[in-house]
């Protein structure tokens, strides 16, 4: 790898590096930095073991640059001491390295598992990163009630029940639950609603529930419905449909046409579930299909979920990686991180061989606690299925490139409009929300070259009671807290969490407040714009305010104006949504929440016994002691809380 001459102030040339004006906050690394990094790494080699393990490389600010795993730590780390054999990306990484940390493991598989966990937690800049890693929704049949419910579930499996999934989206779950209710007539209400019903609800009227809450079906009959639904979700759809078809024919032959019609409707509902399956493969029960398409230095990975022989949908991912990293390397890193917090199914089909594929399969097997096969299909139905997934990946990649290109043009337009030196890579947009000063909250959303960066969104509960209802004071508190913390965490401003542009929802008054805050913190070099709706709050006639510049507007048909409106509207949506959540939480709060020693279980026991928090507050000591789980001491605490003078 060619470098410029070896004078200490000569930068390491990188063909793919962004020009200095596009990244002014990051100091360019020199050959002297690279040599210092090499010497730092060499110092660790003297004591490194020859065992498997994980290493972390960190910069002068303590940020983790890279997490790697090795079968032989000493041999692997030694590779970084020969810069001529490293790609430019890793030369830059070595030049930034000032310290390292190591963890030894018993096996290379354990090292791989630890590596993927640390990458997801620390998000190092030089690793392949899977940034969008939300938990997937499941369908759950509860098992902690005499009459189980059919519900959507996301998150920890801390409730007794049968879980089926994952599904690619909440929409896929909702459609499936609706069809399952038509087919098996299971309730989807909460236990508290179930216990208070005195007559059937709308679900019974539209033939989606058999109303067990009011005794329209006994426990044994309802249990048969539950078992059928569980069997269907477990992949025994043919058995269930055959059984229903037989029951329909028997009812028809017995001239019980009402029952026959009900069975017909249930069969149609099951058929509707299967009709929405885009692709199916005979004999494939539980499997994930992972197809990677790479072009132009970026990669799209499509994941299809098959459970119980049904297609539960698909989702596209765009992992962050260096443009010189090949598909096999990106695919390997993606798989390791994707299954870090979830068990893989017995079969994972991939579009091409991944790096260290056998090691990956062993790690997935260890994590799942059962055999996991990682394979590339070569022929037959599975190959056709993979081709379909690859087509989806290629099309999603094309759409992403088109959107990114449009975004780049819009950001260039923003730079020209506001007189910025270069298109902004991070725009922060701020808005406040409250109702007559109640539950005030500030919201921050972030946008960049790839669109909205949702994991960077923040909400600020306004702490100063004097600021509630005062938009200027609220904005002052939000901006002060945001940038005081930023200065504390990154005083040299070398990270990627500093904005190039602040967009404030408001006019001259809000702008003046933000100017004062930034000046007090010594951050007057951040570009700042206020955006206010025009007369009668007419969208399209917005006025823009900037320090030292007269207010101005734009052509209502200008695409850049639409873009700025979208940014402002997203901040508005985020602030209002956050405010609504805070308000609903306050409304649903109970006086029992303020009693010391009363957790969710005791609170539930008290409410079930007395019916309301108000009744609990009026209860005597003897009545409180009669509640299951409430000891004499706890009863005294509750009584004293509501009777401080007694």
Q: What is the pLDDT of residues 323-334, one digit of tens each?
A: 889 999 999 999
| First vs last C-alpha separation in the chain | 83
User: What pLDDT is stored for residue 27 in this prediction?
Assistant: 52
Question: How high is the mean pLDDT of the chain?
Answer: 84
User: What pLDDT is stored for residue 22 in this prediction?
Assistant: 39
Residue 587 has pLDDT above 60, yes or no: no
410-419, 465-474, 569-578: segment of lowest average pLDDT: 465-474
- Token pair for residue 285? 């029960």
Name the residue among 353, 300, 296 with its Cα closest to residue 329: 353
Residues 620-633, mean pLDDT to the nearest whole number: 85
d(CA 91, CA 82): 9
Residue bearing the bigger pLDDT, 271 or 568: 568
CB 361 within 8 A of CB 388: no
CB 263 within 8 A of CB 255: no
Pairing of strands 451-452, 458-461: unpaired
Q: What is the pLDDT of residues 540-554, one digit of tens each?
A: 578 999 998 999 999
Q: What is the pLDDT of residues 332-366, one digit of tens each?
A: 999 999 998 888 999 999 999 999 999 999 999 99
Handedness of CA 274, 278, 284, 286 (dihedral sign): negative
Helix (H, G, I), strand (E, B) or coil at 336: helix
Domains and CATH numbers, the chain: 34-122 (3.40.1440.10), 138-276 (no CATH), 287-399 (3.30.420), 427-585 (3.30.420.340), 591-642 (1.10.150.20)
217-231, 392-406, 482-496, 529-543: segment of lowest average pLDDT: 529-543
d(CA 288, CA 350): 9
Could you tell me how far CA 578 lies from the centroid of its own chain?
Answer: 17
User: What pLDDT is stored for residue 248 in this prediction?
Assistant: 82
Of all residues in the chain, the percent with pLDDT exceeding 70 is 89
166 preceded by cis ω (within 30°)?
yes
Q: What is the 3-state secondary structure (H, E, C) of 36-51?
A: HHHHHHHHHHCCCCCC
Q: What is the radius of gyration, based on Cα positions, of the chain?
A: 30
Q: In which band, very low, low, confident or very high, does the pLDDT at 14 lie, cut at 50, 70 and 90? A: very low
Phi-psi region of 105 (alpha: psi -120 to 50; beta: other; left: phi over 0): beta
Q: What is the 3-state secondary structure (H, E, C) of 191-257?
A: HHHHHHCCCCCHHHHCCCCCCHHHCCCCHHHHHHHHHHHHHHHCCCHHHHHHHHHHHHHHHHHCCCH
Helix (H, G, I), strand (E, B) or coil at 290: strand
Q: What is the pLDDT of residues 201-254, one digit of tens each?
A: 988 988 889 999 999 999 998 998 898 888 888 777 667 777 777 878 887 878
Residue 25 has pLDDT above 50, yes or no: no
Residues 617-630, mean pLDDT to the nearest whole number: 84
User: What pLDDT is stored for residue 18 in this prediction?
Assistant: 37
User: What pLDDT is stored for residue 93 in this prediction?
Assistant: 93
Residue 15 has pLDDT above 60, yes or no: no
CB 130 within 8 A of CB 337: yes
Which helix (H) or strand (E) element contains residue 266? helix 257-275
The predicted model scores a pTM of 0.69
Q: In which band, very low, low, confident or very high, does the pLDDT at 17 lie, cut at 50, 70 and 90? A: very low
d(CA 633, CA 616): 16
User: What pLDDT is stored for residue 276 in this prediction?
Assistant: 47
CB 300 within 8 A of CB 318: yes
């Amino acid at each position: 790898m060619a470098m410029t001459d070896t004078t200490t102030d000569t930068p390491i040339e990188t063909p793919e590096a962004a020009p200095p004006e596009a990244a002014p906050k990051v100091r360019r690394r020199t050959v002297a930095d690279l040599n210092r990094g090499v010497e730092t790494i060499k110092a660790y080699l003297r004591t490194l073991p020859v065992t498997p393990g994980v290493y972390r490389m960190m910069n002068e600010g303590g940020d983790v640059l890279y997490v790697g795993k090795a079968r032989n730590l000493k041999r692997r780390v030694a590779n970084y001491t020969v810069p001529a054999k490293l790609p430019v990306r890793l030369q830059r990484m070595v030049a930034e390295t000032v310290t390292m940390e190591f963890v030894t493991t018993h096996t290379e598989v354990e090292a791989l598992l630890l590596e993927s966990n640390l990458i997801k937690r620390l998000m190092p800049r030089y690793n392949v990163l899977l940034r969008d890693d939300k938990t997937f929704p499941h369908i759950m049949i509860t098992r902690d009630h005499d009459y189980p419910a059919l519900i959507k579930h996301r998150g920890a499996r801390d409730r007794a029940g049968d879980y089926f999934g994952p599904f690619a989206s909440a929409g896929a779950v909702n459609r499936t639950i609706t069809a399952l209710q038509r087919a098996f007539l299971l309730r989807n209400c909460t236990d508290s609603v179930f216990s208070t019903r005195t007559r059937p609800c709308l679900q019974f009227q539209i033939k989606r529930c058999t109303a067990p809450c009011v005794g329209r079906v006994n426990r044994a009959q309802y249990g048969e419905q539950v078992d059928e639904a569980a069997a269907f979700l477990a992949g025994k759809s043919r058995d269930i449909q055959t059984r229903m078809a037989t029951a329909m024919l028997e009812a028809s032959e017995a001239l019980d046409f009402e029952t026959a019609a009900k069975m017909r409707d249930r069969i149609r509902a099951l058929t509707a579930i299967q009709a929405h399956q885009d692709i199916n493969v005979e004999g494939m029960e539980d499997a994930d299909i992972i197809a990677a398409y790479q072009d132009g230095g970026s990669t799209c990975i499509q994941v299809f979920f098959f459970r119980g022989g049904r297609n539960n949908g698909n989702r596209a991912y765009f992992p962050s990686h260096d443009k010189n990293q090949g598909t096999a390397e990106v695919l390997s890193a993606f798989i390791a991180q994707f299954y870090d917090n979830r068990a893989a199914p017995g079969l994972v089909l991939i579009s091409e061989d991944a790096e260290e594929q056998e090691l990956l399969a062993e790690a997935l097997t260890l994590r799942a606690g059962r055999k996991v096969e990682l394979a590339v299909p070569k022929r037959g139905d599975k190959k056709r299925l993979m081709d379909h997934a690859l087509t989806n990946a290629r099309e999603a990649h094309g759409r992403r490139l088109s959107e990114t290109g449009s975004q780049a043009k819009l950001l260039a337009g923003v730079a020209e409009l506001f007189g910025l030196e270069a298109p902004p890579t991070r725009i922060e947009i701020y808005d406040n929300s409250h109702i007559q000063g109640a539950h005030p909250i500030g919201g921050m959303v972030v946008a960049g070259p790839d669109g909205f960066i949702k994991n960077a969104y923040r909400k600020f509960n306004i702490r100063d009671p004097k600021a509630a209802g005062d938009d200027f004071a609220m904005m002052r508190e939000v901006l002060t807290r945001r940038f005081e913390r930023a200065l504390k965490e990154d005083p040299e401003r070398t990270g990627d969490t500093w904005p190039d542009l602040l967009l404030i929802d408001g006019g001259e008054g809000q702008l003046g407040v933000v100017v004062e805050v930034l000046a007090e913190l010594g951050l007057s070099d951040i570009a700042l714009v206020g955006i206010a709706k025009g007369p009668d709050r007419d969208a399209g006639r917005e006025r823009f305010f900037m320090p030292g510049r007269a207010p101005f507007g734009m052509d209502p048909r200008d695409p850049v104006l639409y873009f700025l409106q979208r940014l402002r509207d997203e901040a508005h949506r985020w602030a209002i949504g956050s405010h609504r959540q805070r308000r609903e939480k306050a409304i649903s709060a109970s006086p029992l929440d303020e009693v010391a020693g009363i957790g969710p279980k005791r609170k539930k026991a008290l409410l079930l016994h007395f019916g309301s928090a108000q009744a609990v507050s009026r209860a005597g000591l003897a009545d409180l002691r009669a509640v299951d789980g409430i000891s004499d001491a706890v009863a005294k605490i509750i009584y004293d809380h509501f009777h401080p003078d007694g």
